[in-house]
Amino acid sequence: MSARTTLLQPLRVSVALATIALTLSLGFLALTAWHSAYRLSPLENHVRQIQGLQQTDIAIGKLLTRHLASHQPPTAMELEHIRADLDDLLQQNGQLSPNTPNNLRMASDYLALPIDNPSSNLIGALSLIRKVLTQENALQQQAIKTARQSADQEFTIALIALIATPILAIAVMIWFRRRAFRAVSRLSELLDNVASLRFVDIEPVSENDPLAPIYQHYNEMTASLRTVSQQSRDHTDQLESQVRAASETLLRQQAELENGAKMAAIGEFSARLAHELRNPVSGISMALHNMEIETKDPDHRERLALIAEEMDRVTRLLNSLLQNKSFTLETPVAVSSDQLIGDVVKLFGYRLPKHVAITVDSKNHNITLPRDTVRQVLLNLLKNSCEALGDLPGTITVSFDVDNNTACLTVTDTGPGYADAMIARGVRPFQSGKADGVGLGLSIVQHLVHGTGGDIQLGRSTNGGAMTIIHFPCEEPDHAHHYHH
């Protein structure tokens, strides 16, 4: 038996069972119809027999009544007509009693010519006819009762067959399924193994299993799939390792950039401080030199010289601080806002605690702006929000949109929010709302934003957390579509 035969055997057996069941049903219906017709045919003949006997009884009764009333004997034609009806009844042979033909012949003899005593002969014939009617009616009642009992039996048999046939068919199908569907079940098991990535070998049920070639090909396929799966896992592990290494490198570089930005902010602040201090320091140095020239006391002159020398060193230090350059402005480039925001959120997600979630609600725009500056600003804001949440579970929301050549970046969180003083006075260096904060994070963000010609606003979100709104100048996008995740 081939594999194809084994697989098609359930269908063939199902069709055969359905055909047999249909044939049996039709045969039983035909047998029932024939048997009903067979029972009704004698009853129909007997009904005609009874009708003929009743008509004969009526005809003889009329002749007897007329004779008794007017002493008019029946005519030969009337008697012959009645005898002819009796002969027809005998020829029809529709009687149920075996005595009926003899009684009908005796009644016919009573009516045969010549009749010496019409009253006696008519009464004798009428008595025989009524005797036949009584017997035939009794037998007809018995025949009807028997036919009814047979019909009830046939109905019971049909009802039993109607209930038993489906049960028997189901039992046969269950039995056959256990035997003939075993191959299909094993094929389903093979497909389930492949679907669930269980690449295990399978052995034939018996030596002459028709699906043995399929099992052999399946085992060859599973061996290849196991090899491919192992290679895929190795490749996935390698890619994950590379992604982790790249992420660590990016985070390390971002930390270095952040530290560099902090140092640059400190340098710029130092330069501003040096510029403000240089003039009074120069005035003090000139006054010390004048006092050194005007004093006559060598001891005082020496002390003034030492002080003047220290002030000159302070002046040189301030000049060296002023020679350091401020942040270099970045050249704007064309970017996709979804990719820019998504990359930063994804990168920051590697260092995000499990109890903190980030959601992004953005409209994608193809725009031109200082990409690295926006990245550094967003990373600083995400870091600030994450640190503000601390060990509490919360959500950070990033929104981005463009309107009238201005990009709007909004970062909100569910943390404690900015202090009222910070919201009122704005961002200032070394002003922090955190116990261990230095106060340079938002100062760096403000410096970067102002360097692009933008502005920064602090506020509170609807749930009381921090809200930072930043506007960057950019080129108007050609088109936009909503992006949310």
**pLDDT, tens only, 226-248:** 888 888 888 888 888 888 887 77
Q: What is the pLDDT of residue 399?
A: 94
On average, the pLDDT of the chain sits at 78
Instruction: Please return the burial class of 46, using the count of CB atoms within 10 Å of its CB with bins 0-12, 13-18 and 19+.
Output: buried
Q: Is the per-residue pLDDT at 468 higher than 50? A: yes
Question: Checking phi first, is residue 199 left (phi over 0); if not, alpha (psi -120 to 50) or beta?
Answer: beta
Residue range 361-366: mean pLDDT, rounded: 88
Q: What is the pLDDT of residue 242?
A: 84
Q: Is the per-residue pLDDT at 403 higher than 50? A: yes
User: What would the 3-class secondary structure string for the chain be?
Assistant: CCHHHHHHHHHHHHHHHHHHHHHHHHHHHHHHHHHHHHHHHHHHHHHHHHHHHHHHHHHHHHHHHHHHHHCCCCCHHHHHHHHHHHHHHHHHCCCCCCCHHHHHHHHHHHCCCCCCCHHHHHHHHHHHHHHHHHHHHHHHHHHHHHHHHHHHHHHHHHHHHHHHHHHHHHHHHHHHHHHHCHHHHHHHHHHHHHHCCCCCCCCCCCCCCCCHHHHHHHHHHHHHHHHHHHHHHHHHHHHHHHHHHHHHHHHHHHHHHHHHHHHHHHHHHHHHHHHHHHHHHHHHHHHHHHHHHHCCCHHHHHHHHHHHHHHHHHHHHHHHHHHCCCCCCCCCEEEEHHHHHHHHHHHHHCCCCCCEEEEEEEEEEEEEECHHHHHHHHHHHHHHHHHHHCCCCEEEEEEEEECCCEEEEEEEECCCCCCHHHHHHCCCCCCCCCCCCCCCHHHHHHHHHHHCCCEEEEEECCCCCEEEEEEEECCCCCCEEEEEC
Q: Give the percent of the chain with pLDDT over 90.
A: 11
Q: What is the pLDDT of residue 13?
A: 67
**pLDDT tens digits for range 324-346:** 544 556 789 899 989 889 888 88
Angle at 392 between CA 389 and CA 393, to 5 degrees: 95
Q: Is the per-residue pLDDT at 166 higher than 50? A: yes
**pLDDT tens digits for range 14-37:** 667 767 876 776 776 677 767 666
Q: What is the pLDDT of residue 357?
A: 92
Class of 333-484 in CATH: alpha beta
Angle at 431 between CA 427 and CA 435, to 5 degrees: 135
Lowest mean pLDDT among 17-21, 127-131, 292-296, 369-373: 17-21
**pLDDT tens digits for range 168-197:** 777 777 766 665 566 666 667 777 777 777
Q: What is the pLDDT of residue 14?
A: 64
**pLDDT tens digits for range 138-153:** 888 888 888 788 778 8
Q: Where are the domains of the chain?
A: 3-177, 333-484
**pLDDT tens digits for range 75-111:** 889 888 988 888 888 888 878 888 888 988 898 888 8
Residue range 387-399: mean pLDDT, rounded: 91
Location of structure tokens 């269980």: 198
Paired residues of 469 in beta bridges: 410, 457
Q: Is the per-residue pLDDT at 6 higher than 60? A: no
More confident residue, 261 or 245: 245
Q: What is the pLDDT of residue 78?
A: 86
Paired residues of 361 in beta bridges: 399, 484
Determine the length of the chain: 485
Q: What is the pLDDT of residue 85?
A: 87
pTM to 2 decimal places: 0.38
Spatial distance between the Cα atoms of 176 and 170, rounded to a whole number of angstroms: 10
Q: Is the per-residue pLDDT at 435 higher than 60? A: no
pLDDT band at 458 (very low <50, low <70, confident <90, very high): very high
pLDDT band at 255 (very low <50, low <70, confident <90, very high): low
Q: Which amino acid would we find at residue 91? A: Q
Q: Is the per-residue pLDDT at 432 higher than 60? A: no
Residue range 134-140: mean pLDDT, rounded: 87
Q: Is the per-residue pLDDT at 266 higher than 60? A: yes
Q: What is the pLDDT of residue 464?
A: 87
